[in-house]
Amino acid sequence: MSAAYFIGARCRAYNDDYMQCKTEAYGRGEFECMREGRKVTRCAASVLEDITKNCLTEFRRHWECLEDNNQQLWHCRRAEWKLNGCVFDKLGLEKKIPGAPQDETPVHLRKRQIFGQNEPGVIS
């Protein structure tokens, strides 16, 4: 969960190719699309490798927070902001939620969380 949006950001083209292959194979894509599937897997693995190389402390804090808080994202916004900042600064990957309205502040950047009182500018 901590790296999902970053994997999506870097690997979108591979994911799209794989899904197109699966669609065109009419449900028989397990073998026909193996090459595309391997590209998706290699890309995702490279993102995880880069994150652990460059932002391991922030990554670990975020996923440990999620584990300790039953995967409730709002408990872990501060750790998420640190991770997002590190990944953007060092890897150039930005968290963007697909399908989110363009005229609204994304939920992970809102100053006031519905269930929490964390503010993006106040990171402990």
Tens digit of pLDDT for each residue in 10-68?
999 999 999 999 888 887 777 889 999 999 999 999 999 999 999 999 999 998 999 99
Hunting for tokens 């709002």 — which residue is that? 74
3-class state of residue 55 by DSSP: coil
The C-alpha atoms of residue 39 and residue 17 are separated, in whole angstroms, by: 9
> Which ranges constitute the DSSP H helices of 1-124?
4-24, 29-32, 34-54, 56-68, 77-91
Residue 119 pLDDT more than 80? no
